[in-house]
A and B are shown apart, each in its own frame.
Chain A
Amino acid sequence: MTHALEMIPARPAPPVKASRINLARVAGYGILTLWAVLGLALVWYLASSWDPAKIERYGWRYLDGLATTLMLTFGSITLGALLSLPVTFARMARNPILNTIAYAYVYVFRSTPMLLQIFLIYYGLGSFRPQIEAIGLWWFFREAWYCALFAMTLNTAAYQAEILRGAIQSVPRGQTEGAKSLGLPTSITFWKIILPQALIVALRPYGNEIIFMIKGSAVVAVVTVLDLMGQTRYAFSRTFDYQTYLWAAIFYLAIVEALRHAWGAIEARLTRHLKR
């Protein structure tokens, strides 16, 4: 029977044979090249089809549409934030009737498409024209712009109520108990202790909601509101020029990216005391 008398001396591991060409690298450079080619093609296409007459005719329309999009988005976000407060309180209330109503509202508006909500308000409420005229609100529901703003507000309020509820419930109970033991009244506890901590948690979802509303606001073009998308469809229907859509894409990407980075900076600034 043989046995080893001495251990084999330790040797360094063999050098890793990393091949310079592997599938990931080929795919990566391939796709990057494709993006670069597409980007150059886009620039070339836009430059070669640059038409001063078209730019003069439709350029300011795009800017006007951009302003409409931003107004609709920020208007509905602000109004939705106001509307979401009572919905959130109703949603967290102990009263089962209030709770059910708020839950139904949030559920309905979160599980149907915004396009359909806008249709329902703009075209659907037209069925009740005599009644609406009787209460003197027809001027509001006659205008596509107001209807779009109304539908977007209702939609975003449902989402914002859920964001706010989640954020408020994420604040530990101990905070409320601590405030109670200090003898603070309920309103001060809510405004000065619970809400500031909840809003920090809600910061990121709120940013996402704003971006979703900017993107979602494109559907108002279908009910003849001339927002950025609406002006794009108008320009396309007049010229049949594909570059109209590419310009819209550039505008939308620019707004969304600018907002995303700005929001990131705001968030980093506001949460700097939480950095470890």
Chain B
Amino acid sequence: MGGLSSALGSIWDWINYTFDPLCGPVGLFRLLATDTLVGCGDTGWGDEIAFGVKVTISLALATLPVGLALGFLIALARQSGEWSLRAATGVYTTIFRGLPELLTLFIVYFGFQILVQSVLTWLGIDQRVEINAFVAGMIALSVVFSSYASEVLLSAFQAIPRGQYEAGSAVGLSRRKTMWLIIVPQLIRIALPGLSNLWLVLLKDTALVSVIGLADIVRQTGVAARVTKEAFMFYGIACLLYLVLATVSSIGLNAIARWANRAEASR
């Protein structure tokens, strides 16, 4: 088992190194800026920044499924016939769409820390705990993402005619099957533009996590800027990296939109 996991680990390391667009064998920094401040290795900041890019991307990618799933459930609850469920989820979206993302992050980060600490003290364990910044960031960003996503999905739900549900039950599909086979495929197509916007917003919001000390793009370039006194260059690099991430994701999202609308296009 240990051998297998270490083998998998080394394969992962190899993939991570080979396909690294910044510091891999054919990486941008390695090819163009070997002996400068952004070179890879011990002398330059290239590998630190490359690590930050990976952290930013993985935080956004880890937040997305959680936020989408939560948002879908909230959108379902927002249109249920039960008033209490509508009111309860309404409170949720009002709160988390009204709070600044930075404040949500602090409330989650310090709140969990204090909560865990007091539970431990109550159990009689005297130990300092540190909440993982990645997890805190993921929770805060998922909560914010889900409350916006629920609005997008809710309006997409309202764009689907009732006849679709009725047709589903007319051919004898259960409610669950109607949802998965009839409603969700149409929902994805209608909600995709709104969700694409939210993804780009999420990508930018990950920058906030640098404030609680997670080593993302902003944090890593900030450390480099402070050490080398080349603030403009390093923050400029960070801006360029975000631009590249946004451009790459909008290309990807356009491809997904084309795929989702493939039935429409032929008409």
Bound-state Cα–Cα, A112 to B246, Å: 8
Q: Name the residue of chain B whose CB is nearest to the CB of A220.
A: B102
Q: A111-B200, A116-B218, A252-B98 are in contact. Are A123 and B235 (CB under 8 A)?
A: yes
Of A7-15, A28-36, A57-65, the one touching chain B: A28-36
Our count of residue pairs bridging A and B at CB distance below 8 angstroms stands at: 140
B169 CB–A CB distance under 8 Å? no
A24 CB–B CB distance under 8 Å? yes
**Chain B residues near A252 (CB-CB < 8 A):** 98-100, 103
* A120:B84 contact, CB within 8 angstroms: no
Q: Which of B80, B204, B211 contacts A111 (CB 8 A)?
A: B204
**Chain B residues near A245 (CB-CB < 8 A):** 103, 106-107, 110-111
Question: Per-position contact with B for A250-276: 1 when CB-CB < 8 Å, else 0?
Answer: 001100110010000000000000000
Q: A111-B200, A126-B231 are in contact. Are A253 and B99 (CB under 8 A)?
A: yes
Chain A interface SS verdict (over half): helix
Q: How large is the interface on B (under 10, 10 to 19, 20 to 34, 35 or more residues)?
A: 35 or more
* B88:A215 contact, CB within 8 angstroms: no
Bound-state Cα–Cα, A256 to B87, Å: 19
Bound-state Cα–Cα, A260 to B110, Å: 28
Chain B nearest CB, measured from A204 CB (Å): 13
**Chain B residues near A123 (CB-CB < 8 A):** 225, 231, 235
A27 CB–B CB distance under 8 Å? yes
Chain B nearest CB, measured from A112 CB (Å): 5
B122 CB–A CB distance under 8 Å? no
* B218:A115 contact, CB within 8 angstroms: yes
**Chain B residues near A216 (CB-CB < 8 A):** 100
**Chain A residues near B102 (CB-CB < 8 A):** 218-219, 221, 229
**Chain A residues near B218 (CB-CB < 8 A):** 113, 115-116, 119
Q: How large is the interface on A (under 10, 10 to 19, 20 to 34, 35 or more residues)?
A: 35 or more
Q: A24-B80, A249-B99, A253-B95 are in contact. Are A115 and B207 (CB under 8 A)?
A: yes
* A27:B77 contact, CB within 8 angstroms: yes
Residues of B participating in the A interface, judged by any CB pair closer than 8 Å: 77, 80-89, 91, 94-95, 97-103, 106-107, 110-111, 114, 200, 204-208, 210-211, 218, 222, 225, 229-233, 235-236, 238-239, 242-243, 246-247
Residues of A participating in the B interface, judged by any CB pair closer than 8 Å: 22, 24-25, 27-29, 31-32, 34-35, 107-108, 111-117, 119-120, 123-128, 214-219, 221-222, 229, 232-233, 236, 242, 245-246, 248-249, 252-253, 256-257, 260
Q: List 15 contacting pairs A-B, 8 Å CB cutoff, sorted by A.
A: A24-B85, A25-B84, A27-B85, A28-B86, A112-B243, A113-B208, A115-B210, A120-B236, A123-B225, A124-B235, A214-B100, A216-B100, A233-B106, A245-B111, A249-B103
